[in-house]
Amino acid sequence: MSPWELPTSLEIGGVGYAINTDFRTVLYVLDIFADPDNEPDERAAVCLRVMFPDWETIPAERQQEALERVTDFIDMDMPGVDERDRGAKPRLVDWTRDAAMIVPAINKVLGTEVRGMKYLHWWTFLGAYMEIGDSLFSTVLGIRQKWAKGKPLEKYEQEFYKANRPLVDIRRRDSEADAARRAALKELFV
C-alpha cells in the first residue's frame, strides 16, 4: 500500500479484492473485535464479510492472509506496527464509548461534520485522529497514556480526573456471561 494513495483494494494471494474503506465500516469492525461475546472465528467471519464486498470469492486458504491485510489497512500500514505488539498494549481508546469526544475533535481538524459526510476514507479519518490537538479527548487520552506508562498525574490532571472520572476510566466490556454471573452474585447478597 502506498502512503500517497488511498487504497480501495487489498492484494491477497496476488489478486486484488475491493474493500469497504469508509471510516464507519472500520469502526464497526473494531467494535466487533472489542466485544468479548464474539468468539475469534466469529470476529474473523464478520470482518471478512463487512470489509470485502465479494468476500465469498476469497479462497478459504487465503482468508487468514485477508485478515492480516485488513489489519495492515486498519493500522494504515504504518512502519513499526508489529503483530507481536498488537495485543500487548493497554487499551487507551474505546471507539464507541469515546465517540462523543472523538467526533468533535476530528470535526475541528477536518473543518466539517464527519457524521454528515456520505463517505470518508478510513485513512483520512485516522489521519485527522492523529492530528487532534488540544481538546477534551486529548486531555482524557493524555491521562490514560500516563496511567498506562505508570507515570504520576500532574495536579491539574488529578483535578480533571476527579471531576470527570466516567470519561477517563475505560471499563473492560463484560461478556453476557460475565454480566449474568455478576447479577447472580448480586442476587445472593441482596
Give the structural domain span for 63.
Answer: 9-85
Residue 3 lies in a domain: no
* Contacts for 54 with CB less than 8 Å, ≥ 6 apart: 17, 18
**pLDDT for the residue 173:** 57
Residue 70 included in any domain = yes
Task: Identify whether 26 is part of a domain.
Answer: yes
Give residue 84's pLDDT band: very low, low, confident or very high (50, 70, 90).
very low
Q: Do the domain assignments include residue 80? A: yes
90 part of a folded domain: no
Work out the average pLDDT over 115-122.
97
C-alpha cell at 118: 456520505
**pLDDT on residue 36:** 83
For residue 21, being part of any structural domain is answered with yes
Assigned domain for 81 exists: yes
Q: Structural domain tally of the chain? A: 1
Q: What is the pTM of this model?
A: 0.81
76: in domain: yes
Q: Give the residue, 180 or 127, on which the prediction is more confident.
A: 127
CA angle 148, 150, 152 (to 5 degrees): 115
pLDDT mean over 100-129: 97
> Which of the four pLDDT bands, split at 50, 70 and 90, describes residue 170?
confident
